[in-house]
Amino acid sequence: MKISDAHSLSKIVKLPENEASETQPKASPPVQGVDRVTLSPQAREIRDAQRALAAIPDVREDKVAEAKARIAEGRYRVDSREIAERMIKEALSDKD
């Protein structure tokens, strides 16, 4: 099928030119206000604890320096029996 007169279709169905603006709801003006958040006492405690933990370094530099110095001086001794006993004790306590 071939439509020879494209203008005749527009005569049959006539849409308003600004149809899109008519179907869209009008936006309300932005509200001029301030959002506020109030934390509960428990939430404040959690926040403070998180901040305190974040301030603690992951590596205790003083302990690392002490261990390095002891190794360099030959004073660092490992008691393998004590380590084995602690490992066994910890493994047994984890099973409970």
Mean pLDDT split into 10-residue runs, the chain, 96 residues: 56 57 62 85 94 91 94 93 96 81
pLDDT score of 92: 93
For 69, the 3-state DSSP assignment is: helix
Q: Is the pTM higher than 0.85?
A: no
Phi first, then psi: what are they for 3, rounded to 5°? -100, 120
pLDDT score of 26: 67
The amino acid that residue 18 corresponds to is N
pLDDT score of 33: 83
- How far is it, in rounded angstroms, from Cα 90 to Cα 53? 26
Domain ranges in the chain are 39-96
pLDDT score of 2: 57
